[in-house]
Amino acid sequence: MAALIRLFLVMFVVQLVFYVLLRIYVRSLRIERLENRWDARHPDQAGDTPARRAFIARSMVGFERSLKARLTALVFVLPTLAVLAIVIAVNWR
């Protein structure tokens, strides 16, 4: 039982670290795409201008509720499912 709890604690810590990194990555991809879109639409205001910063801040408002942001929570689900699948495949066949 202690080994099982330790396994889940270790898994949770690894998942948490990976989740944070993945969130930073997905956010960064979205911001990059928004920057490129702004630069294409407003060639006269391209670059890191206040107008572009305001546009990106406005566009990122609903990001936490987007499908992509929510899918990153699968980081906490998939490893547990994989462990369950291995347990069943190894012990009940």
Partner 1 sequence: MYYARVVVGVLFGVLVFAFLDYTLPSRETVRISNTYNRLTAIPPSAAIFWAADSAGTVENAQGQRDVRFIDTIRPNGRVRVYRNEDTGWVWPPYFKYDSANLQAEATNLQSSAQEPIWVSITSYGWRMPWLSTYPNAISINTVSGPEDRPVNWPAMLICGVLLALLVLIWRMWAQFRQRGLSRLRKRT
Site for partner 1 (CB under 8 A): which residue of 20, 32, 68, 74? 32
- CB atoms inside a 10 Å sphere around CB 69: 15
H or E stretch covering 56: helix 50-59
14 counts as binding partner 1 under rule CB under 8 A: no
CA quadruple 42, 43, 48, 49: dihedral, nearest 10: -60
* Choice between 42 and 84, CB closer to partner 1: 84
* Footprint of partner 1 on 36-65 (CB under 8 A): 53
9 counts as binding partner 1 under rule CB under 8 A: no
Cα–Cα–Cα angle for 63, 27, 68, rounded to 5 degrees: 55
Pick from 89, 93, 91, 82: nearest CA to 7: 82
Q: CB under 8 A: which stretch of 38-46, 66-74, 81-89 binds partner 1?
A: 81-89
Site for partner 1 (CB under 8 A): which residue of 44, 47, 67, 93? 93
Binding site for partner 1 (CB under 8 A): 2-4, 6-7, 21-22, 24-25, 27-29, 31-32, 53, 83, 86-87, 89-91, 93
